[in-house]
Structure 1
């Protein structure tokens, strides 16, 4: 009975993570927030899949052919296992769907990275910065070997020299810190467990904030970076691009461009740049509390999944001794 209760808890733990994702993205230093949210999401997605696996196996071992193959008593298993066949079949179906979605997302991200690498290699010149003659304002980081920063003439015309410095520092940070890897990892976690979608939204925001803060460090002027983001957003709103870019691309305005009239990521980023910077070294402030809460959440999920698997293992040992 204990296994029956514990095995469902890892399926529910992604919910508090989803609720806490946006507040953490707004309150924590961006680099810490990105690492924390991505790591927790991957762990919770894996543990929820493990719990589904335990449920599916708990139904499988009740099956007489499986009992004969495993040399245990199916009657003893049925007496000690409170998981019903309906629950087990449902868990197996969900686990299969999650695995298929995870494989499909992994393949999509690999294809996107390969497309970005190929496009970066095909761009003219050997410098990291590539200028393209396009009226539409564009500025984005293209991961590859090496990665390239692509800027259109339309974007250069929309920004002054100081804004351009901030923009280039932002894009360079995307490449230097491998932000596309964080975005790929969080989307993989969401594919396996859709309850984590708010966490993915938060991570796509925090990687942009991370690049903003890196640019502010290079330019030594947070307001200038905020102006560059705002000007780029206004220019893009007037002249939207119709180019289809690889999914691994990250840019000054993020992966998704939302209207400035909505409370989207761009106004939030500008507001954060105009506010006092947050650091991860504030004693007894949000970072330590957040790290502790994340450790408790993931640790509890792991403990429940392990305890359920252990109870099933003990039951099978007893059934084998019968």
Structure 2
């Protein structure tokens, strides 16, 4: 059955997403975000298409579509049960999606209160625990605590600020939101969240390294900031906020210290994972389109039978 593919493929994409992060950061980000959005759309469309055939067993629905016969054969109870289950799953997804979007908006509004009194790019919080993160907005702000400022040298602070500027310039929070909402659409896509955040941090790492012109300094600054932040909780940081101290920092530091050529060579075996992820996306989209075409043909046949009757 065509519609089973869009519902199953997101579960298979999870392992491939973790391997994709070994690709160049920009490629990994585009692939992860695009695949999550596409697979979420495919699975949602599949549930919507599953509702229609069973619903045509109900006389009001059949009359609305001018159908004499239902679009499915077999026991009406089975078809209607599939419709009910698909409808419930779609309703639950919709509720989770709306709740996630509302929570995102509420956190963003609360976080912007921190920057309301500042006209500069930098917002310094008088807090002992070291922390720093990018706060999206118009304009965006970089929030940093006095504890973090004391933990780093002047050169390391420049690295940290360049890292957070990269998050703001790239509007990375929108990609995080996209994948978070996609995860509400299908549980299998929850596996994309951490790989995407890692890839976004790697993008910002590379941008900071280019800005300061020193990869070793960048690696040292990120490591020291993560060690300092690790001693204190980040409970005041909004859930959508991206920060240099999050994710697998040792892996990020190693990537910065590796020569670019060596990093590209090491990522070569993981290109198979990228092909796998793209194949899942193509199969999901193709199956959804084929199922929609079959449904359209079935409706035309049923309507033709009505005309002949």
What TM-score comes out, normalization by structure 2 length? 0.89
- 2:66 maps to 71
- 1:13 maps to 9
- 1:149 maps to 142
Distance change in 2, residues 1:76/1:229 (3 Å): closer
Aligned residues: 304
- 1:310 maps to 293
For 2:204, which of 194, 204, 211 is the aligned residue?
A: 211
CA distance in 2, matches of 1:286, 1:42: 25
Check the 8 A contact 2:16/2:274 in 1, yes or no: no
CA distance in 2, matches of 1:174, 1:148: 10
- Unaligned 5+ segments in structure 1 are 255-263
- 1:109 maps to 104
- Unaligned 5+ segments in structure 2 are none
Check the 8 A contact 1:116/1:143 in 2, yes or no: no
CA distance in 1, matches of 2:98, 2:141: 28
- 1:178 maps to 171
- 1:257 maps to none
- 2:303 maps to 320
Distance change in 2, residues 1:278/1:300 (3 Å): farther
Deviations 1:139-196 (A, max 9, x none): 1111122111122221122111221121111111111111111111110000111111
Check the 8 A contact 2:164/2:243 in 1, yes or no: yes
CA distance in 2, matches of 1:230, 1:170: 13
Check the 8 A contact 1:21/1:198 in 2, yes or no: yes
- 2:48 maps to 53
- 2:81 maps to 86
- 1:200 maps to 193
Check the 8 A contact 2:16/2:277 in 1, yes or no: no
- 1:300 maps to 283
Q: Which range moved further: 226-235 or 206-215?
A: 226-235
Check the 8 A contact 1:60/1:66 in 2, yes or no: yes
CA drift at 1:40:
0.7
Determine helix, strand or coil for the equivalent of 1:141. strand
Q: Do structure 1's residue 98 and structure 2's residue 93 form an aligned pair?
A: yes
Check the 8 A contact 2:23/2:264 in 1, yes or no: no
Check the 8 A contact 2:125/2:144 in 1, yes or no: yes
Check the 8 A contact 1:42/1:189 in 2, yes or no: yes
CA drift at 1:237:
2.6
For 2:29, which of 30, 34, 38 is the aligned residue?
A: 34
Distance change in 2, residues 1:30/1:123 (3 Å): farther
CA drift at 1:214:
0.7
CA drift at 1:76:
6.6
CA drift at 1:86:
2.3
Q: Which range moved further: 145-154 or 190-199?
A: 145-154
Distance change in 2, residues 1:82/1:265 (3 Å): farther
CA distance in 1, matches of 2:47, 2:3: 8
Check the 8 A contact 2:19/2:273 in 1, yes or no: no
Distance change in 2, residues 1:19/1:242 (3 Å): closer
Q: Do structure 1's residue 250 and structure 2's residue 258 form an aligned pair?
A: no
Determine helix, strand or coil for the equivalent of 2:260. coil
CA distance in 2, matches of 1:70, 1:28: 49
CA drift at 1:87:
2.1
CA distance in 2, matches of 1:249, 1:278: 31
Distance change in 2, residues 1:110/1:242 (3 Å): closer
Determine helix, strand or coil for the equivalent of 1:6. coil
What's the C-alpha RMSD, in Å, of the aligned pairs? 2.6
- 1:123 maps to 117
